Amino acid sequence: MTDWRGSGMSVMEVSHRSKAFVAVAEEAEADLRELLAIPAHYKVLFLQGGATGQFAAIPLNLARADSVVDYVNTGAWSKKAIGEAKRHAKVNVAADEAASHYSTVPEQGALRLTPGAAYVHYTPNETIGGVEFPYVPATGDVPLVGDFSSTILSRPLDVSKFGLVYAGAQKNIGPSGLVVVIVREDLIGRARDGVPTVWDYKAMADNGSMLNTPPTFGWYFAGLVFKWLKKQGGLGAIAARNRAKAERLYAAIEASGYYRNPVAANARSWMNVPFTIPDPGLEKTFLAGAREAGLVNLEGHRSVGGFRASIYNAMPIEGVDALIAFMKDFQGRHP
């Protein structure tokens, strides 16, 4: 932290233009490319402004003000992406899962896609609702854009099906302050006039994401996480672990006859598992007991209440087992 590679400085203090840091940045990109098998005709950008910044940058780069852009609404993050896109393009909501209270994903056949749309945007994993697409939508020649913030690197991904993949770092990549954008080269260089230069994909791609000072520490740290993932055996190995974690937790919820997960069985997230108890009056008791057992951050998102276990890559299977043991014990004490 304070003496990086014998330099007497933290990586936070070295110049982002120094040879040493540029090597770190390039290595992080190379490792990410290897993990996700990113094809050569995609650029990888390390940007700022979070996934929320991309909610605006995507229409500003890929669409004109009078372009139609298709958005699939599967919950809270889709809604935010749609809200921002409406300020910059003509949004067609290609599917809206309101009828199921956002506990489902639309089937491919239910997507009302616009021929010639500038792109189709969807949220592969709804972090708050715990709803995940079990398939990648087919959009023909229209570029597909996915907000992978809460599911990137949880399993292999066929990047070639996408025009653009983006992910805020803070769930599966590293510290907040960084957003990774993987964008097909033919979609670069179309930014409309007036787009802030730091969010013009071409300006950033031409400058190796270093048009201005990048979030150096986050980038460095992301590189360490990519190395850790490679050491775990890559995305195939982490996927097997993530699948086992999720299956174990959902099975325990189902078998309990007490806890409830509201999401349709085919759309249950591997990363975010919301659940409720029969008596919401006991939620504070549950959380206090959990905290005593060393289990924290189980509050459901403030917009929905209940509980949510976020079991990102960093959560080992022992953590899931500890939660299941606590849940059984709590049920026994508050039947």
Ligand X SMILES: *Cc1c(COP(=O)(O)O)cnc(C)c1O
Q: Which residues are catalytic?
A: 77, 147, 171
Check residue 52 for interaction with ligand X (CB under 6 A).
Answer: yes
Check residue 168 for interaction with ligand X (CB under 6 A).
Answer: yes
Out of 73, 123, 139, 261, the residue judged to bind ligand X by CB under 6 A:
123
Nearer to ligand X, 77 or 250 (CB): 77
Nearer to ligand X, 52 or 100 (CB): 52
How large is the angle between the packed helices 317-333 and 283-292, nearest 10 degrees?
130
Check residue 129 for interaction with ligand X (CB under 6 A).
Answer: no
Nearest distance in Å: CB 182, ligand X: 15
Instruction: Compose the 64-83 pattern: x for residues touching ligand X by CB under 6 A, - for all others.
Output: -------------x------
Check residue 114 for interaction with ligand X (CB under 6 A).
Answer: no
Check residue 50 for interaction with ligand X (CB under 6 A).
Answer: yes
Please work out the total of residues on this chain that contact ligand X, with binding judged by CB under 6 A.
Answer: 11
CA–CA distance, 6 with 242 (Å, rounded to integer): 37
Nearest distance in Å: CB 123, ligand X: 5
Out of 51, 82, 152, 205, the residue judged to bind ligand X by CB under 6 A:
51
Check residue 150 for interaction with ligand X (CB under 6 A).
Answer: yes
Nearer to ligand X, 97 or 147 (CB): 147
Which residues bind to ligand X, rule: CB under 6 A? 50-52, 77, 123, 127, 147, 149-150, 168, 171
